[in-house]
Amino acid sequence: MGSYKHIEERFSRYIIGNYVSATEIGVGRNFTVAEAFAAAGVTVKTTDVFVQQPPGGIPFFRDDVCAPDLACYRGTALIYAVRPGIEMVPCIIALARSVNADCIIYHLGNEIYERGGRIIDCGVVLHQYHTRI
């Protein structure tokens, strides 16, 4: 399996096994991971700078991760992103720190930010840039 859906399946399995709540940053039109979380009972929210039309049952709010409304993210255990633009990564990490959530990113290709954080190999390589206290 070399498709993007394979990546999202592996990412989803890891998160479902380790978190009860999560918020996806920069969801775009791809709600595959969020749908898997919701189906498994993980409380999930999605966000993007552009208005998106999520499938039924997936909460969405419009927000800019680089100027976030922190109230929208408080209480989530995980802030995550799947293939975000590298310019978004520092903002995603700062947001996770601000609301005391773990931060896990699946990068596009071989991108990493700074030293790459803690590597999680769950069949695909995830980067954990912040761990909640």
The reported pTM is 0.91
pLDDT above 70 for 116: yes
Give pLDDT, residue 8. 85
For the stretch 99-113, pLDDT in tens is: 999 999 998 877 777
4-130 placed in CATH 3.40.50.150: yes
Identify which of 13, 11, 130, 9 has the alpha carbon closest to the alpha carbon of residue 77.
130
Distance CA 92, CA 89 (A): 5
For the stretch 24-52, pLDDT in tens is: 999 999 999 999 999 999 999 999 999 99
pLDDT above 70 for 1: no
